[in-house]
Structures are given as structure tokens and as C-alpha cells.
Amino acid sequence: MIKSNLFWICVLGGIAVSSAIVAFALWLSPDAVRPASLARIFQDGKHFTEVILLDVSESFTIVVDVGEGGGFNVIEVEHGRVRMLEANCANGTCLQRGWVSGGLPIICLPNRVVIEFSGTTSNVDAVVG
């Protein structure tokens, strides 16, 4: 009985120490997720343009003309980040993402506009939703 309790105390202690080491390592590395260096914009699956985000010195906009029924998206780009500024799609979900500097893409499904990011370095293995 005593050996069993000692075993579980050692196991739980090992887990606590391991967790503390991982948390400390993440705290020491504020650059665990760096901004993307490149944003690629696609419309209807075709490459529209790309922007090197870290080279942007002044903000600017990109207008993506969807062509069907006057559909459009306006993308705003600043140093290291991008957002969907305007879209005349039905639901406007893409506008709710706000500024994004890497990671998951910004998608306007009704207008078939996608902004993908590359050049990210991340310690994250997967995204669970």
C-alpha cells in the first residue's frame, strides 16, 4: 500500500515538474509564434497577388473584384499584418477576423477569396477546434 502511494506521488510529481519546465520555456520565448512573412491572396482558387508583410512600410489596400454581380473584397495591409476591410458578401464573417499576422487563413467563402500565410515559425503542432 505504501509503495503504491509512493509510486503515484512520484508520477504526479514528475508530471508537475515537466509541466513547469514547459511553461517556463514558453514564457522565456515570446517569439514562439512569429508573424508570417508572406500573405498570398487567391480568388476562386487562382493566385491573385502576394505581399511580403515584413517589407510593408506604409499601409495600403488591395481590391479583389469577384466579377459576379459586382462582388468585391477590400484587403488592408500594414507592416506584418493584414485584414479584410470591406466585403459585400452576404454574411461578413471574414470581416470579423480583424487583423491577422499569420496562422489560419482569412476566408470569404461567398466571394471565394482566401488569404493564406506562409513563412511562419510556430511551436504549435496542430489546431484543434
pLDDT at 127: 53
Q: Give the mean model confidence (pLDDT) for residues 17-45.
A: 73
In this structure, the strands spanning 106-108 and 81-87 are unpaired
Distance, in Å, from the CA atom of 122 to the CA atom of 109, rounded to the nearest integer, reads: 26
What's the pTM?
A: 0.65
Which three three-digit cell numbers place residue 25? 520555456
53: pLDDT strictly greater than 60: yes
Show me where the domains of the chain are located. 1-32, 38-118
Express as a percent the part of the chain with pLDDT over 90. Answer: 36
Give the model confidence (pLDDT) of 71-118 as tens digits: 899 999 999 899 999 999 888 888 998 998 888 899 998 889 999 998
Fold type of domain 38-118: mini-chromosome maintenance (MCM) complex, domain 2 (2.60.320)
Query: Is residue 77 within 8 Å of residue 38, measured between CB atoms?
Result: no
Residue type, 72: F
